[in-house]
Structure 1
Amino acid sequence: MVVGAQSRPTICLNLIVKNESHVIRELFESVAQYIDYWVIVDTGSTDGTQELIRSEMERLGIPGELHERPWRDFGHNRSEAIQLAQGHCDYIWVMDADDLLVGDPEFRDLTADTYLMLIDDGVLYWRRQLFRDGVPWRYQGVLHELAVCDSPTTEARLGGEFRVLSRRIGGRNLDPDKYRRDAEILLAEVQRNPDDPRSVFYLAQSYYCYGDWVNSRKWDERRVEMGGWDEEVYYSSFRAAEAMAANNEPWPEVQDAYLRAWNMRPSRAEALSALARHHRVAGRYALGHLFAEKAASLPLPDDVLFVNGSVHSWRALDEQAVCASWIGKPVEAFLISRRLVALPDVPDDDRARIAANRDLMTPVMMERALAYPDSVPRTRVDGRPADLTVTLLAGPDRTRTEQTVNSFLRSCTDFARIDRYLVLDAGLSAQDRSVLAALYPFLEFETADDDPANWLGQIRRLVSGRYWLHLREGWHFFAPETLIGRLIGVLEAEPEVMVVGINYEDVTKLSGRCAPESQVRRSGDGSRYVLADWLIEGPAMFELGRSDRVSNSWKPGDPVPGATLDEVLCVHHD
């Protein structure tokens, strides 16, 4: 079949299954919008998988056919299945029953004979999954089978933002002796064909997965000796080092093994991160920092085989931050920790731990932030409308006001966007007001009414324009941030929200908390925030048109259409 330009080819889903009734429905739901036909081969299910396949595909309205064949081995049965799938669609899409498609693959305008898809089972790798119909594909290998073709073919990576989650929860993975059985099968295969590098490689991995460190190292080192594909040789060298570490072999030998692995492929961070972790656990924080910093500097490589994406995206940075906190680099530790809690792929348990570590560094950041800033706005903005006004309460303690202003200006890295600074004087002496005016010539002062209950309303009447950021009184900011941009970004992303609080959950003190990923939304620039429906009492930005409309009809007990940022950026000083 020929796929026309600017068109999506027809796709036939192809599986071999056995006892997959507990997982296969989720696979079908994730791929249904992309497939036009299905050919599935059952190799002996006893749990009703066959009927479930028929009923689910009928419900989804996708035609296809179910075959039943005896089990022999993966190479044979995969080959049989892909042959049965020939002649139905433009491409054949091979999956496992416990796979789950996440994201949106780009199936339009396909031209290659086979496409690799990104697989994620804790590490990332690319594997042939999509095959042009009419090409004589077959699989070889009793386990960890490989798609091959005896005719010349073209190959490409499938585009789009997607991953195939290989969840390892299918019928075969329910066997607690899976890896031991795999090792026995692969050892027999290696004995038949000792020069097959793929069988040697996966034999070593099988030993590793069930904890036979001695044999894992033995066969990984054998795979390194065989040479060949550099990615596989690197990974075998790295796994040999991992097996040595797990077996508590002498550390100098283990470290040398890790360094040999990294030297084979210096674009990969796994070995360096493992070294950092070991030195950190051993209390050698300077060495841990050295290795972690180098590992964290390496971008995610374009490799095909078993890339630990989490090491490149956050785990090495995590090691760097922890080690930095122990070697007198609290600012580095704080800034890295803030960066980490904002990443979407950090698990929530780790996110909470990192947030707690971040807060341990806050006293140092606070001390720095309370000093008079290196640069301040030197003139008040007079004579033109103010679109963004910052306000605060002052008095009777001048020092508290200085600390709020200093810490805000040191932390708000985009304060140049602010048009007007307004201070409601609630008890400053004439001398203190004069001192503040000299220190901060951009401030405008207004005298507060006698009744504190009127102060917020008084400030509101003095503010015009679209945005109002109210800092209240006695708050200390400590985290460098494009604060104005983040707050306005939330208001632009959420047209119903009238107010955005600066602190997650509107807390007044360090909480060691940050928003779990399940709660988080992101504005156009990727900044994180969460929705809130309570009356925010801490520092917050209002969109005045919306807040005025809500205020005109709001009654006590009504929800307030609001939001907060996802972390704590300031604390109240009692």
Structure 2
Amino acid sequence: MISISLCMIVKNEEDVIGRCLDTVRDIVDEIVIVDTGSTDRTKEVVSEYTDRIFDFEWINDFSAARNFAFAQATQEYLLWMDADDILKPEDQEKLRILKRSLDKKIDAASMLYILATDDAGNVTGSSRRYRLVKREKGFRWIGFVHEYLEVHGNLIDTDMAITHASLRHDSNRNITIFEEMIAKGRSFSPRDMYYYANELFDHGKRRKAIEQYTEFLDSKQGWVEDNIRACHRLSDCYAHFEEKAKSLEWLFQALRYDAPRSETCCRVGNFFFEQNNYLAAIYWYDQAIQCKDHGMLAIRTDVYSAWIPLLQLCVSYDKIGEHEKGCYYNEQAAKLRPKDPIVIGNREYFSKVLKREIVPATY
């Protein structure tokens, strides 16, 4: 059995830190908390779980804080979580099993990170992160914002997940850090360029975002998944400015970097759907369903691989008068979310159009 230190950096997390620690306290052997300047009851709450609490002066560098937290740990393996993350009961059990069974030759283990779910509990956004790492390997965090853990050696992927369950988010925090780094004359890595462009986009600064995404792609040093998502965002920017040809062009540029992603195909399908070119839209929605899962560590928007293209195929076929096919694809979507009001409404519509009762089990 391995021993595990949970390492966390926190600031003003009194509302969520106890919820997080409750899901993992009985599994890990040590809890290391690094506080970067809380002014609420965070440290008081944390003291009920551990006495391994350290202060770290905030210097606008997440990697520095995380590396400091790792340096305080004493157990064989280091597990990291954020204060607004939780382990669901089934994942708590998976972590217990992993702790009992992990081969000590393993240097790092990845876990699924659930970023978003719909009202029915279906995962709509996820990624993979290396969460459990061997302490003696001395792995380091890199990047002052949107930091990542650089790992190598014997790596495995596990089937357990950590779930992000945020109650709030400081939307200005990251862009403020980026702007302070610019003011100090700090040079950006290609990864920094990409995430700064994302912050500009999220804050509605689309012209500046276009410049930053373009500079990032021109560097030709970006990770393939970041390249693809940069193209998607550039498409969104030009769509906002009603430059439709450029919007479509950037979606096709995304195809340069790797095999097509389902999201890219859906976006192209949406472009043609909005132009009332339903046959072209049908082609691209079908391609979205056919896409294989690529980019294990990338953020996955799972709705693009099935739910959205199935519904859009339903509507597209209906638009060209092929109501039976439209009904078929609605029922395929219903297999994913049988109680969704959209598929129920569509079923009622097709019952009237086809003049017969639609029985889901027949599809």
- Short-chain TM bin: 0.7 to 0.9
What SS does the corresponding residue of 2:309 show, helix, strand or coil? helix
Gaps of 5+ in 2: 117-124
> Hey, what's the Cα distance between the residues in 1 that align with 2:138 and 2:278?
56
In the superposition, the TM-score normalised over structure 2's length comes to: 0.85
Residue of structure 2 equivalent to 1:355: 344
> Hey, what's the Cα distance between the residues in 2 that align with 1:142 and 1:99?
20
Q: 1:179 to 1:135 in 2, by over 3 A?
A: closer
Q: How far off its partner does 1:33 sit?
A: 4.3
Q: How far off its partner does 1:120 sit?
A: 2.8
Residue of structure 1 equivalent to 2:106: 112
> Hey, what's the Cα distance between the residues in 1 that align with 2:154 and 2:345?
47
Q: How far off its partner does 1:300 sit?
A: 3.1
What amino acid does structure 1 have at the position aligned with 2:153? T
> Hey, what's the Cα distance between the residues in 1 that align with 2:330 and 2:20?
36
Q: How far off its partner does 1:80 sit?
A: 0.6
> Hey, what's the Cα distance between the residues in 2 that align with 1:27 and 1:140?
24
What SS does the corresponding residue of 1:19 show, helix, strand or coil? coil
Q: How far off its partner does 1:11 sit?
A: 1.6
Alignment equivalent of 1:53, drawn from 42, 46, 58: 46
Residue of structure 1 equivalent to 2:68: 80
The one-character-per-residue Cα deviations of 1:162-184 (angstroms, maximum 9, x if unpaired) are 332334445xx2x3423531441
Q: How far off its partner does 1:64 sit?
A: 5.1
Larger Rg: 1
Residue of structure 1 equivalent to 2:175: 180
What SS does the corresponding residue of 1:38 show, helix, strand or coil? strand
What amino acid does structure 2 have at the position aligned with 1:259? F
Alignment equivalent of 2:86, drawn from 93, 97, 100: 100
> Hey, what's the Cα distance between the residues in 1 that align with 2:126 and 2:146?
16
Contact 1:121 1:166 (C-alpha < 8 Å) held by counterparts: yes
Task: Work out whether 1:166 is the aligned partner of 2:164.
Answer: yes
Which structure has more RCO (C-alpha within 8 Å, separation ≥ 6)?
A: 2
Q: 1:261 to 1:360 in 2, by over 3 A?
A: same
Q: How far off its partner does 1:327 sit?
A: 1.4
What SS does the corresponding residue of 1:192 show, helix, strand or coil? coil
> Hey, what's the Cα distance between the residues in 2 that align with 1:186 and 1:335?
54
Q: How far off its partner does 1:480 sit?
A: 5.7
In the superposition, the TM-score normalised over structure 1's length comes to: 0.56
Q: How far off its partner does 1:202 sit?
A: 1.0
Residue of structure 2 equivalent to 1:71: 58
Contact 2:175 2:196 (C-alpha < 8 Å) held by counterparts: no
What SS does the corresponding residue of 1:45 show, helix, strand or coil? coil
What amino acid does structure 2 have at the position aligned with 1:79? N
User: Structure 2 matches for 1:243-262, cutoff 5 A?
Assistant: 243-245=237-239, 247-262=240-255
Residue of structure 2 equivalent to 1:293: 286
The one-character-per-residue Cα deviations of 1:359-404 (angstroms, maximum 9, x if unpaired) are 211235555xxxxxxxxxxxxxxxxxxxxxxxxxxxxxxxxxxxxx
Residue of structure 2 equivalent to 1:206: 199
> Hey, what's the Cα distance between the residues in 1 that align with 2:277 and 2:128?
36
> Hey, what's the Cα distance between the residues in 2 that align with 1:225 and 1:116?
31
Structure 1 vs Structure 2: percent identity of aligned residues?
22
Contact 1:262 1:272 (C-alpha < 8 Å) held by counterparts: no
User: Structure 2 matches for 1:144-543, cutoff 5 A?
Assistant: 144-148=146-150, 153-160=152-159, 162-169=160-167, 173=169, 175-185=170-180, 187-188=182-183, 191-194=185-188, 196-228=189-221, 229-245=223-239, 247-343=240-336, 351-367=340-356, 478-479=358-359, 481=361
Contact 2:23 2:87 (C-alpha < 8 Å) held by counterparts: yes
Q: 1:198 to 1:257 in 2, by over 3 A?
A: same
Residue of structure 2 equivalent to 1:128: 130
Gaps of 5+ in 1: 1-6, 58-62, 368-476, 484-574
What amino acid does structure 1 have at the position aligned with 2:333? L
Number of positions where the alignment pairs a residue of Structure 1 with one of Structure 2:
345
Q: How far off its partner does 1:82 sit?
A: 0.6
What amino acid does structure 1 have at the position aligned with 2:343? I
> Hey, what's the Cα distance between the residues in 2 that align with 1:176 and 1:291?
34
> Hey, what's the Cα distance between the residues in 2 that align with 1:44 and 1:77?
11
What SS does the corresponding residue of 1:12 show, helix, strand or coil? strand
Contact 1:179 1:210 (C-alpha < 8 Å) held by counterparts: no
Q: 1:26 to 1:335 in 2, by over 3 A?
A: farther
What SS does the corresponding residue of 1:119 show, helix, strand or coil? strand
Contact 1:101 1:164 (C-alpha < 8 Å) held by counterparts: yes
Q: 1:249 to 1:52 in 2, by over 3 A?
A: same
> Hey, what's the Cα distance between the residues in 2 that align with 1:272 and 1:28?
40
Q: Higher helix proportion, which one? A: 2
Residue of structure 2 equivalent to 1:38: 31
Contact 2:8 2:80 (C-alpha < 8 Å) held by counterparts: yes
The one-character-per-residue Cα deviations of 1:247-304 (angstroms, maximum 9, x if unpaired) are 2232112111111113433331112212222333444333322221211222333432
Q: Bigger shift: 101-110 or 309-318?
A: 101-110
> Hey, what's the Cα distance between the residues in 1 that align with 2:83 and 2:322?
48
What amino acid does structure 1 have at the position aligned with 2:176? R
The one-character-per-residue Cα deviations of 1:433-479 (angstroms, maximum 9, x if unpaired) are xxxxxxxxxxxxxxxxxxxxxxxxxxxxxxxxxxxxxxxxxxxx532
Residue of structure 1 equivalent to 2:120: none
What amino acid does structure 2 have at the position aligned with 1:69? F
What amino acid does structure 1 have at the position aligned with 2:64? H
Q: 1:238 to 1:176 in 2, by over 3 A?
A: closer
Please, what is the CA RMSD of the aligned residues? 2.5
What SS does the corresponding residue of 1:303 show, helix, strand or coil? coil
